[in-house]
Amino acid sequence: MGLVHTEREELLRAVEAEVGAGRPFALATIVGTSGSTYRRAGARLLVTADGTWLGNLSGGCLEGEVIDVGLRVIDRDEAELAAYDLSADEEAIWGWGMGCNGAIDVLVEPARTAVEAAEGLREAERSGRPHVLASVVSSPDVAPGTHLLVREDGTVSGGLPETLAAAVTEASLTALSSGASTRVDVDGTDVFLEVVRPPLRLVVCGAGHDAVPLVRAAGALGWAVTVVDDRSSFLTPERFPGAAGLVRAEPADAATAVGADDDTFVVVMSHNFVRDVDYLGSFLGTGCAYLGVLGPGRRLERLLDELATRGATPTAEDRERLHGPAGLDLGAEGPDEIAAAICAEVLAVRRGHGGGFLRDRGGAIHRRGAGA
């Protein structure tokens, strides 16, 4: 996604503050990229009437240019599409100095339509399920910056004409199924379809001392973390100030107590063999996206052997989503480093990456998103 969740939350709060104060502003969104770019489609920058800004589109190289466009948009109250081609040698003349070899399209819209975009992002944030925010980039019939919010069930909200809305909805549901934002032409209307996912949901099973840095690290990434344990004395806000939820439940009932689906990531780390057997058995078969188990691989096999004696055998799908030992191979030592390794692995799984060295990747760092 173009915006990580901590960034998105900061920007949404800033937009809400400007709206609450009745101040004009402009919202700039990258709606297309080609080649190598610092940020991907969906990254945003808020421009206020006094020329201050919040957000990041290029690492600081193009922000001044975009702020100028934003001030013009505020003055005219009309959206504007700005294109920046940084692939030519002339970039040195213009002084952008991006150090990249690509191009970006930026849609800059005034407050009256930007509010609709912010409301759509906020709804997706709160719903716990992915949405598509469709934004008109250019059209012979519809004003740029007109939005349509498309939900998983096909329901929509926004201001597109009925026929166009139906076609955009169909394209949006296709984007949702692929999980990738894209730029499409719908009957002559250029539309950016942004797949907006809620914060990553992490369930930590076991509230021991080493769960504290994991919850802290995940919270710093903007993830929604739930800690589950059967010991109420361990489940305190003082121990886990960044947790979104603290749930007391027996290990065997953990999945039922917290809920689990294909957007749930789980780490089992109670350090108690009996508890971990029950935690693991609770989440097998739930379809959770990731099921990490702390400890050596041989311990995981012992846990699975114990479950097998109870008639609970993991499916091939369960095996694919099992990660034990949990975490990337970083040589991590101590709770804080192990927490970093686990968060890195969870992020790699969610993004569909292998977690190796970028220098060995070859080709683009990011998968290609919406074309410019």
Is residue 43 situated within a structural domain?
A: yes
Residues 167 and 209 in one domain: no
Query: Domain ends where: 163, 196, 229?
Result: 196
Is residue 272 situated within a structural domain?
A: yes
Compute the C-alpha angle 239/241/243, nearest 5°. 100
**Regions in the chain scoring below 50 on pLDDT:** 1, 91-94, 96-99, 371-372
One-letter amino acid at 201 equals R
Q: Looking at residue 102, what is its pLDDT? A: 77
Is residue 210 situated within a structural domain?
A: yes
Residues 186 and 207 in one domain: no
Which residue range(s) make up the domain with 9? Answer: 5-196
Whole-prediction pTM: 0.82
- Quote the mean pLDDT of the chain: 91
Residues 207 and 66 in one domain: no
Q: Looking at residue 94, what is its pLDDT? A: 46
Residues 11 and 41 in one domain: yes
Yes or no: say if 197 and 262 are a contact pair by the CB < 8 Å rule.
no
d(CA 230, CA 190) in angstroms, rounded, equals 53
Domain count, the chain: 2
The CA dihedral of 79, 176, 340, 302, to the nearest 10 degrees, is: 170
d(CA 154, CA 148) in angstroms, rounded, equals 11
Q: Residues 237-294: pLDDT tens digits? A: 999 999 999 999 999 999 999 999 989 999 999 999 999 999 999 999 999 999 999 9
Helix, strand, coil share (%) of the chain residues, nearest 5: 40, 25, 40
Tell me the three state secondary structure of residue 47.
strand
- CATH code where residue 231 lies: 3.40.50.720
Q: Looking at residue 364, what is its pLDDT? A: 62
Residues 276 and 172 in one domain: no
Residues 48 and 184 in one domain: yes
One-letter amino acid at 17 equals A
Q: Looking at residue 175, what is its pLDDT? A: 96
Helix axes 211-220, 334-351, angle to 10 degrees: 50
Q: Residues 22-44: pLDDT tens digits? A: 999 999 999 998 877 878 899 99
